[in-house]
Structure 1
Amino acid sequence: MQARVLAIAAARRRVGYVFLDNHTLKDWRISNSAARSSTDAAGAAQEWVNALQPTIVVTEQLEPGSRKGAHTKGVIRAIAKTAERNPVLTVSVARVQLYANKYEEAAALAVRYPELQAWVPQQRRAFDNEPRNTVIFEALALAQRVIDGPPTLLAAAMG
């Protein structure tokens, strides 16, 4: 698949994105301000779409059993709605955990994208907050679902 993919993920108090151009990681970012409200999330998403000019925007499909909080779900919905208002293919994919935990997933993704090696979060202790960088790897995992996934994912998004 030859595409410019912008994948955006949200977690508690942060939103992150990765941008891949024809399978090459070109940019990634974490924003605390984008996670403040649905309005801030929509504004940030529009800025990123304008600046990066993706052909595909990937967001998380909110499943009934999602462990995301209500605020974070609102942020994800706002990002998806913003993407839909642009001339891009908008794809929502379920967040599938293929590894024992987020930290193993991040390490595996960093092998494929070595430029993110310095961003791989250390596994937290039970009483620590989740590291900020996990949201980048959540976004990258969403992008990989579309890039490596079955063509039916994109076909379904096309209608």
Structure 2
Amino acid sequence: MAALKVLSVAVSSGRVGYVFLEGTQLLDWAVTTTVSNKATNLVAYVQELINTLQPDVVVTEKCNDDCRKGSHSKKLIASIAELASHNYVLDVQVSRRRVFQSKYEEAEYAAKRHPDLIGHLPKKKRRFFEFEPRNMIVFEALVLAEEVINGPPDKLAAAMG
């Protein structure tokens, strides 16, 4: 049986990050700030990723009551989920679990499993008045993807109907 190909897209204020995994192997990732301003730009970007990478599953964050995203980010996430539903891929929305005390601890834990991302870890934790490092969105996308890959199969089953 072929490994599941997963494209996970995470949206944050002013940036979008994605990771592409085949099974548990990380094959591609990127961060962009140019498509996060309008849903049409983001949809075109993600459609190009779907056409190029040909994933089996597109993962986004589930925007429920626990979601800490702003209204603009929620609209962008909804546009990605709608796009995925129009393609021949499974659209899986995952609630973001908070297992670690901070995103930085979560990123360090994820980088240990995927050493290619170690260079994208921030040098130091930000202070409350500083902006979040640009590359943190990649780790958010990775955590969402691993929730589907390593999680219980009910998330995939629910997406299949």
Normalised by the length of structure 1, the TM-score is 0.97
Q: Secondary structure at the match of 1:35?
A: coil
CA distance in 1, matches of 2:71, 2:91: 22
RMSD of aligned alpha carbons: 1.1
- State the shift of 1:97 in Å: 1.3
CA distance in 2, matches of 1:99, 1:64: 19
CA distance in 1, matches of 2:114, 2:13: 25
The residue aligned with 1:149 is 151
CA distance in 1, matches of 2:66, 2:107: 23
CA distance in 2, matches of 1:155, 1:70: 29
CA distance in 2, matches of 1:34, 1:113: 26
The residue aligned with 2:31 is 30
- State the shift of 1:66 in Å: 2.1
Q: Deviation above 3 Å: which 4+ runs of structure 1?
A: none
% of aligned pairs identical? Answer: 46
Q: Secondary structure at the match of 2:108?
A: helix
Q: Give unpaired runs (5+ residues) of structure 1.
A: none
Deviations 1:82-123 (A, max 9, x none): 111110111000011111110000000000000000011231
CA distance in 1, matches of 2:35, 2:61: 16
> Are residue 61 (structure 1) and residue 62 (structure 2) matched?
yes
Q: Give unpaired runs (5+ residues) of structure 2.
A: none
The residue aligned with 2:14 is 13
More deviation, 9-18/29-38 = 29-38
Map 1:10-159 → 2, pairs under 5 A:
10-121=11-122, 122-159=124-161
Normalised by the length of structure 2, the TM-score is 0.95
- State the shift of 1:29 in Å: 0.5
